[in-house]
Amino acid sequence: MTDNLAVDNLSVDTSEMAQYTMEAELYLKQLANKTRLMVLCSLVDKELSVTQMLDHVDVSQPVISQHLALLRESKMVATRRDGQTIYYRLADERVKQTIGLLHKFFCAQND
pLDDT over threshold 70, residue 27: yes
Distance CA 78, CA 110 (A): 32
* pLDDT per residue as tens digits for the range 87-108: 999 998 999 999 999 988 988 7
Q: How confident is the model at residue 4 (pLDDT cuts 50, 70, 90)?
A: low
The secondary structure of residue 83, as a DSSP letter, is: T
Q: What is the mean pLDDT of the chain?
A: 88
pLDDT over threshold 60, residue 110: no
pTM, entire model: 0.79
pLDDT over threshold 60, residue 19: yes
Q: Which CATH number fits domain 43-111: 1.10.10.10, 3.40.50.2300, 3.20.20.70, 1.10.3720.10?
A: 1.10.10.10
Q: How confident is the model at residue 10 (pLDDT cuts 50, 70, 90)?
A: low
Sequence-distant (≥ 6) Cβ neighbours of residue 80 within 8 angstroms = 47, 86, 87, 89
Give me the amino acid identity at 18: A
* pLDDT per residue as tens digits for the range 48-70: 999 999 999 999 999 999 999 99
**Residue 1: what pLDDT?**
44
